[in-house]
Amino acid sequence: MIHEIPPTHPRAKSLIVREKLVEGFRKGIVVPQGLIAHGRAETFDYLLGERTTRYAYDAEKAAVCLLLLSNKSIISINGNTAALCARDLVILSNHTKSGIEVNLFHESTARSNAIAKILRKEDATEVLGLNTKLKSVINGISSNRKYVDKNGIMKSDTIFVALEDGDRTESLVKMGKKVISVDLNPLSRTAMASDVTIVDNIVRAIPNMIKISEQLVKRDKSYLLQQIKNFDNKENMHKSLLLIRRGI
């Protein structure tokens, strides 16, 4: 870490997360825009009390059910998610038998390779999205996010996009795929378009999902299906929005 944060500092947790992103930026993992994106999310987190709300937890549970029920699920990784929770994302991918694919908004082969290196260091066995020969294109997206792996996102039925800009989520949903996102801003296009929207900080959401997956992996398919049936994403997001309003 670049600056040591005293553990007794009242805002230690939040400052440590910032340091991780700054470190990721200096190592060429995070783009400068990623720091801005995180700052915007911090505002929503502050208003939510920097905790996992019961609505976020319900969404995390529904997301894990969806991942466990999928035939082929993929966790999409970008600069911010790699810098903040690479290890936890690899663990979650193992628990839910999901693939891992690097997909960047701001194109860079060097950054993709650096992210893959981090993921492999954290024991990822296969990292998709790196082989240019396997690149396929999602129609209707102008950004670099349109390039996905033929054997990964293109073939999958569920994608955990984690932090993302809106275009790809909308297109993936149009393609008939299920999309899970983590976004502290329930008003973002990604949040609005996703099938399951987790309004929580990714640094809390992924560890929660790991614990949930440890419990749910023992449950049968009908239980998982029932959980999804009981989950109403729009209603859940609305409740989070009310909490944010109360925070103001």
Specify the residue, 101 or 183, whose C-beta has the smaller distance to ligand PTJ.
183
CB 148 within 8 A of CB 136: yes
C-alpha distances in angstroms, 20 versus 4, 34, 235?
11, 12, 33
C-alpha distances in angstroms, 23 versus 1, 32, 78, 178?
7, 11, 15, 33
Applying CB under 6 A, among 52, 70, 76, 78 the residue interacting with ligand PTJ is 78
The reply to whether 68 sits near ligand PTJ by the rule CB under 6 A is no
Residue 137's φ and ψ, nearest 5 degrees, are -115, 135
Applying CB under 6 A, among 73, 151, 158, 188 the residue interacting with ligand PTJ is 188
20, two tokens: 């991780």
The reply to whether 185 sits near ligand PTJ by the rule CB under 6 A is yes
Specify the residue, 56 or 66, whose C-beta has the smaller distance to ligand PTJ.
56
CB 103 within 8 A of CB 84: no
Specify the residue, 176 or 248, whose C-beta has the smaller distance to ligand PTJ.
248
CB 194 within 8 A of CB 181: yes
Q: How far is the CB of 125 from ligand PTJ (least distance, A)?
A: 22
Applying CB under 6 A, among 9, 26, 27, 33 the residue interacting with ligand PTJ is 33
Tell me which residue has tokens 């466990």. Answer: 68
Q: Segment near ligand PTJ (CB under 6 A), from 36-44, 122-130, 134-142, 151-159?
A: 36-44
Q: Residue 120: in which H helix or E strand, if any?
A: helix 109-121
- β-pairing verdict for 196-198 and 178-182: parallel
Q: Segment near ligand PTJ (CB under 6 A), from 54-62, 75-83, 135-143, 235-243?
A: 75-83
Tell me which residue has tokens 């054997």. Answer: 151
The reply to whether 182 sits near ligand PTJ by the rule CB under 6 A is yes
Applying CB under 6 A, among 13, 18, 87, 106 the residue interacting with ligand PTJ is 106
Applying CB under 6 A, among 31, 128, 193, 209 the residue interacting with ligand PTJ is 31
Q: Under the rule (CB under 6 A), what is the footprint of ligand PTJ?
A: 31, 33-34, 37-38, 40-41, 78-80, 104-106, 163-165, 182-185, 188, 201-202
